[in-house]
A and B are shown apart, each in its own frame.
Chain A
């Protein structure tokens, strides 16, 4: 009999506000340690937290985008635990009544879609950072991150494979970036995931789950879940029992291991945060936030297919990020004659070249206007598609316009019949044997002549015209 894996995910998303959740300290990434702190986020006695309005707005916007209930009255609670990077000895979080509940996200699954329930989104504050590397017997603490607002997005245990979990996370990652509620840079820890994993026989009640931590890339998430499911199955099949515990994923060894020390302290003794009254929102405030909702990835994909006539694959690729989609739209506006040509040149040629050097569209040395300039020259037959690829290389290299490069390198396509005829006659004169064979019926040689003429023109002859004129002249 087969096993079924059951997965629920808790994702911590750093809200991209300029200041922290409860004080006016900057959240800018990469600052010198402990230069962005104040008595509030350091947990000094007698300080009062004041909630950041934008953190609320962005959490509500996220809630609306997943079609959730926005609680017009929500509360904050203290989650108590001791750790040196948590200066107050508690984290301000939302326990009893979160800001957002009962939403869902549709994820692509094998050609179809699957709806994943989202239990809740609550607003909380981040802890500081502990540094251990290269230190003997001590740890170093940087509290710049202490108090940065986080949305904790908790899913229902609705996923049934590591691939579904990754699909959900990618969808969520794309969503928060489109909404501009988070930069969600995983390398900077702005989008962090814990996974609850259990196994069962299909149709049976849920098994005992373990919680996996330290999953900081899509690849590790897949590896960790697959390893953990296999570990649980083997354990049960060998007559053992899964213990409910927190396990840490070790990405170098590809295994999960128990974090026993975490278990003992697993009693957070939540209680209402006395320093913060309930958060109350008016229905009208929520509606105003809803009116500011940008176009979401799924809507944008459909629009790209309809408005630009793109394939669903191209629409998918070009809506991966807001920046890329905006880039495509500028390109299509600047070269309106052929939106599909725009899609091909952006997705295949430009992005491919940028990726080779580890760059993203936002780092492109070629602007949308400049790429449109290149595509115009293909459209008006100034250059062939093949030459255009070389021109694009040169544009990336130099940042110059296509026209300047075509002019400077003399790449303009030859479309003058007389010039092409001259080249054909030269080629025929140089290869009398092949001409004779062709005329005797060896038509396969036609390709040979095309090649020779193109070579003589150094690729600049218009290939369609070469074909046409060759047919005429070889028949003479």
Chain B
């Protein structure tokens, strides 16, 4: 715990994401065997799962359904480019390494999704919310998060080894559940928010947590991964209720999130990383390029000059929390032993490289006076 505190402090001082540091800590602990896994395995297991659920729930809380639909409308072209350019490298790499389809699909997810946490933190810390490319970046992140809700459902089904028919069913199920919740949230969101948010902080906290876990549990029963359920509950909550949820559950998320990332690092034996360094390096290069192209296209659509387009791309480079959640799905199911070390190496490098690229991109300035502001 103390080392976590020190790391979090360090991370916020350098406006870095603590995620790679947590991962690193897990790795170091696993190497020296300081930490005895068997003793508290169950506690950590439960804590890690709770962390992932809270992470997705609060991500959903940040968005409203209107924002999601608007985001999709404004950036579906760049969103598609993003999916193609960044999912395929991981997928193909997995396939080239001779992995199963499921493992390759998971690696594709790892390379696809940008860390909205790292990107949002960078934009806030650098005071870039007023930048012209900012709505482009945010729209891409919104689309990615929405894709993720469906993706996690499919991935969960694949990992469980569903048949083709069962798989088609669960894809339909995931899309259906996401769609249904979006509609319900749009119609009844305010009522739902009022229902939960009436009394003291304590009862709100317990009520919310209960609701999230209940829906997450139901989602898992139907075969649509608990994380998706949590994300969707978050979407349904809006306004003042959302603010309160964020304030009350934010600290819990940070605590259990940290446990989740350290736990993931703990599962990876550091000696398994060097053999996968070469594919990891290739993936880092391709995944960086993919995001730069995505940012360029998205920024252009929002009327940003080349400097802004570059910043947009750089902001998207970092991978983080979601990639690890996806990789964890594979680790839990005991898929390819190379998945965890490869994902760790890729996410760790990109989570460090991304912010560095953003700082460099911020130094490049373009002289483009009197450009009209274009409404997207």
A-B interaction: no
